[in-house]
Amino acid sequence: MRFIYALLMLSIFSTASFAEVNVVATLPWIGSVAKEIGKEKINVAVLVKSGQDPHFVEAKPSMIVAAKNADIIMYNGLELEIGYLPLIITSSRNPKIQPGQKGNLDCSISVNVIEMAKTDLDRSMGDVHASGNPHYHLSPDNVLKAAKTISERLSSIDGGNSDFYRSRFDIFEKGLREKMKEWDERMAPLKGKKVILYHRDMNYLMERYGIGVVGYIEPKPGIPPTPKHLQSLIEAGKREGVSAVLVNTYFERRSPSFVADKIGVKMLMLPIDVFGVPEARDYISLMDYVTNAVKEGLR
Amino acid sequence: MRLPLSSLLIILLFSGAVYGADSDAESRIKALEEALSDQQKTINELKAQKEGGRLRLIDISLDALFSAGGSTEGDESLQSLQGGGHDPRKRGFTVQNVELSLSGAVDPYLKGEAHIIYFLDPLEGETVVELEEAFMTTTSLPYGLQLEAGQFFTEFGRINPQHPHQWHWQDQPVINTRFFGPDGMRGPGFRLGWLAPLPWYSEFHVGMQNANGETMASFLANDELFGERPIGNRPFVQRDVDTMKDLVYLARLDNSLDLTQNVTAKVGLSGLYGPNATGEAGETGIYGADLVIKWRPGYQERGWPFIIWESEVMRRDYKADAVYDDSDPANVIDLKKETLRDWGLYTQLLYGFSPGWAAGLRYEYATGSRDSVGGRDNDPFRDDRTRISPLLTWMPSEFSRLRVQYNYDRADHLDDEEAHSVWLGVEFMYGAHAAHAF
Ligand SMILES: [Zn+2]
């Protein structure tokens, strides 16, 4: 039954020709923001599930089919999708979404990137990104910038609806700015607190709210922890007085809960993307959930 | 230094203006934000000027496969038991395959790709360098079409078109060695792919390649390869390429469906047809079916856990021409026209049970009908054979891999019909991040 339903959905998706723009987004948050702006004028297909580690995604044939029918492909950029997206774009044979075309949108082009490499990098440092930390979407400022990029690009490929996209962006901006005030108020008391992260995936959030990051469960990006590293992390955590260990839901819990126990603080499991928990239905409810959870956890 | 100072100045100026004016706060904030966003634009532009985008000309990567191990069989016997050119096939160390890959965009219409390989001949220790593949792929033909032209692996089944470092086991399946020779079936030609306008993934391939050369084992092959591995132990007959009938033709249909959110299946059917090296009337047909099912749960850490179940079954109809040769009266060759039928399969299950770790089991079977000259039981490439291979893999990172594999062999051509081998493999890869097809 479920199979037939999926087939039905797919065929609706592929035959939808009534002036709708077919959008393929790599990550759930991109799909969510695009839908906010495009509403009924666009169809959105999201390639990566929220529980999946976005650094390690396999290019499935169904993703190629989605890309084949796309008018535009929107992605996070900053090398996050390097392991699967180039293959999907080439295999799709879709001229509209090839690099350099209007239908190929790197959502990072206007965001403020942190942790850009100041010295030369190589893979002895782990899974490093020379162009900076790619997990910028927990910064609402950056998501606002990305939303603007998305609305401008939608206006450009679907000129007839450009007023619609612009007004939808204005509504999105207004709503997000109001929420940002609420989040800022909620997070203000946490300024100066310190945490340990698993991966460099919440740094933008920490930076925005002035929370210090003492260390990471991973010794290097993408490299699994060693006992020696965890030991030094526990010492650093005690010395610096961290308030919690924050872990994105798709990581293993053994090492972070061990570290949290030894330091004597809580381990917080947080969704990093839309639908990571049922409450996170869209970008704004994701941030609501995350800020509430962090506030509760760091109290 | 200039940039931060000037931005500070502008902010100060604006805030000065804001203090001076007594309009509502909203518009002052708006003005401030606009100023800041203008600043951001300047910063981004300057950043782009300083760093610029990189011009990506060629993505280069190098992948090296080495193995060490031992077998109850000696090196001579291992050459046919481990008949793949990149299999571990020597007591001690084997340089299986060192592959240099170069790829990049040619122009707005084409992509280029080349793979150059190096290995050591296990018996002589001789260095071998080969151009494995070099081809171009179109990126924007209409109607879901894609053309590839150059020198490339034939798109038959799953294992043959892949490079050795994409295989989960350390050696190629027995049936691939029998049908496609030590280095896989590849050659110059073209291939046209069509992605059908269906709601699921459905791709149809047709291809045409030269039928001769050492990488065309079941077709025209060449003197040297056929001398080493004659099919049915028949003599090699040199044939010229006269018409289109002297080339080899491929058809392949691939279909894939997501059975559930976490389970994806891909089914393929392939067929090959072309002339062979037994005489003017010699022709070969190879037919195969392949199936892969992958399970990747919604929650995955670094791509773990996973289950991959992969199987292929294939059959070859080798129509051998009659041969009569009485030039040596003491040894008159008189072979009738007959069709040698061979078939075989492999099925393998790989379970990624914990980040970095995977365990697997592969079962293989191969057999044939109609005798080889000298008896099929004595023909290492046509006898009845079963191989069972458990495997354990550890990947410290995406770019390196350690494997240990045990092969239990039961083959008619072996002296005591059984062989045991253990192979330890090391692989490392560096350079551009390669994306692999499903
Ligand atoms: Zn990351």
Q: For B21-61, how does the pLDDT look when each residue is reduced to its tens digit (9 = 90+)?
A: 455 777 777 777 777 767 766 666 665 555 556 788 899 99
Both tokens assigned to A192: 């100066």
- At A14, the pLDDT band (50, 70, 90 cuts) reads very low
Say whether pLDDT at A196 is over 70: yes
Contact flag A224-B355 (C-beta cutoff 8 Å): yes
> Which residue out of A1, A12, A60, A217 would a mutagenesis test of the B interface target, given it has the greatest number of B Cβ atoms within 10 Å?
A60
pLDDT for res A262: 96
Q: Which of B10, B25, B50 is the last residue of a domain?
A: B50
Q: Are B46 and B171 in the same domain? A: no
Tell whether B84 is covered by a domain.
Answer: yes
Q: Token pair for residue A274?
A: 């839309």
pLDDT tens track for A64-111: 999 999 999 999 999 999 999 999 999 999 999 999 999 999 999 999
- Calculate mean pLDDT across residues B75-81: 94
Whether the CB of A125 is below 8 Å from some CB of chain B: the reply is no
Residue A101, chain B, CB below 8 Å: the answer is no
Query: Which CATH number do you get for residue B219?
Result: 2.40.160.10
Considering the domain architecture, whether residues B111 and B205 belong to the same structural domain is answered as yes
Residue B25 at interface with chain A, using a CB cutoff of 8 Å: no
The tokens describing A259, both together, are 């570290």
Q: Give backbone dihedrals phi and psi of A31, rounded to 5 degrees, phi first.
A: -60, -40
Task: Please check whether residue B201 lies inside any domain of the structure.
Answer: yes
Chain A contact for B398 (CB, 8 A cutoff): yes
- Same-domain status, B193 and B172: yes
pLDDT-based confidence at A131, cuts 50/70/90? Answer: confident
Residue B138 with chain A: CB contacts under 8 Å:
93
pLDDT of residue B206: 98
Fold classified for A2-181: Rossmann fold (3.40.50)
- Residue A28 — very low, low, confident or very high, per pLDDT cuts 50/70/90? very high
* CB proximity A179 to B under 8 Å: no
Domain boundaries, chain A: 2-181, 187-298
C-alpha distances in Å from residue A135, one per residue of A77, A80, A204: 10, 8, 7
* Structure confidence by residue, pLDDT tens digits, A221-261: 888 899 999 999 999 999 999 999 999 988 889 999 999 99
CA of residue B161 relative to chain centroid, distance: 4
pLDDT in tens, A264-276: 999 999 999 999 8
The answer to whether residue B265 scores a pLDDT higher than 80 is: yes
Q: Within the 252-271 window of chain A, which residues sit less than 8 Å (CB to CB) from chain B? A: 252
Number of domains composing chain B = 2
- Residue span of the structural domain in which B45 resides: 1-50
pLDDT single digits (tens) B95-116: 999 999 999 999 988 999 999 9
Question: HEC string of chain B?
Answer: CHHHHHHHHHHHHHHHHHHHCCCCHHHHHHHHHHHHHHHHHHHHHHHHHHHCCCCCCCEEEEEEEEEEEEECCCHHHHHHHCCCCCCCCCCEEEEEEEEEEEEEEEECCEEEEEEEEEEECCCCCCEEEEEEEEEEEECCCCCCEEEEEEEEECCCCCCCCCCHHHCCCCCCCHHHHHHHCCCCCEEEEEEEEEECCCCCEEEEEEEEEECECCCCCCCCECHHHHHHCCHHHCCCCCCCCCCHHHEEEEEEEEEEEECCCCEEEEEEEEEEEEECCCCCCCEEEEEEEEEEEEECCCCCECCECEEEEEEEEEEEEEEECCEEECCCCCCCEEECCEEEEEEEEEEEEEEEEECCEEEEEEEEEEEEECCCCCCHHHCCCCCCEEEEEEEEEEEEECCEEEEEEEEEEEECCCCCCEEEEEEEEEEEEEECCCCCCC
A61/B146 CB distance under 8 A: no
Helices A140-157/A28-38 angle, 10° precision:
60
Chain B residues with CB-CB distance to A68 below 8 A? 144, 195
Within this chain, do residues B137 and B159 fall inside the same structural domain, yes or no?
yes
Q: In terms of CA atoms, which chain A residue is nearest residue B52? A: A131
* Same domain (yes/no): B40, B113: no
CB contact residues (below 8 A), chain B span 344-363, against chain A: 355-356
Could you report the per-residue pLDDT of B188-217, keeping only the tens digit for each? 999 999 999 999 999 999 999 999 999 999
Mean pLDDT of all residues in A184-209: 96
Q: Is A128 on the interface with B (CB under 8 A)?
A: no
Output the pLDDT for position B186.
97
Residues B31 and B115 in one domain: no
User: Has residue B319 got a pLDDT over 80?
Assistant: yes
Same-domain pairing of B27 and B83? no
Q: Please check whether residue A121 touches B, CB under 8 A.
A: no
Average pLDDT, chain B: 90
Confidence of residue B398 (pLDDT cuts 50, 70, 90): confident
> Which of A91, A98, A149 would you mutate first to test chain B, the one with the most B CBs within 10 A?
A91
Chain A residues whose beta carbon lies within 8 Å of the beta carbon of residue B259:
3
B438 domain residue, yes or no: no
Of B137, B145, B435, nearest to A86 by CB-CB distance is B435
pLDDT at B2: 44
B293/B398 same-domain check: yes
Q: How far is the CA of A268 from the centre of ligand 1 (A)?
A: 18
Kindly report the average pLDDT of chain A as a whole number: 91
Distance of CA A128 from the midpoint of ligand 1 (Å): 8
Is the pLDDT at B371 greater than 80? The verdict is: yes
Residues B113 and B42 in one domain: no
Same domain, B7 and B122: no
Write down the pLDDT at residue B34: 73
Q: Using one digit for the tens of pLDDT, what is the confidence trace for B137-151?
A: 998 889 999 999 999
Percentage of chain A exceeding pLDDT 90:
80
Interchain pair A58, B437: CB under 8 A? no
Taking CB atoms and an 8 Å cutoff, what residues of chain B touch A127? 397-398
Q: Kindly state whether residues B42 and B167 are assigned to the same domain.
A: no
Kindly report the nearest CA distance between residue B144 and chain A, in angstroms.
6
Are B68 and B15 contained in the same domain? no
Assign A279 a pLDDT band (cuts: 50, 70, 90): very high
pLDDT of residue B47: 59
Q: Is the pLDDT of residue A50 over 90?
A: no
CA of B232 to the centre of ligand 1 (A): 56
* pLDDT value, residue B56: 81
Tell me what pLDDT residue B51 has.
Answer: 56
Q: What is the mean pLDDT of residues B71-93?
A: 94
pLDDT category at A15 given cuts 50, 70, 90 is very low
Choices 3.40.50.1980, 3.30.465.10, 3.40.50.300, 3.40.50.2300: CATH for A187-298: 3.40.50.1980
Establish if B56 belongs to a structural domain: no
Residue B8: predicted pLDDT: 47
* B257 close contact with A: CB closer than 8 A: yes
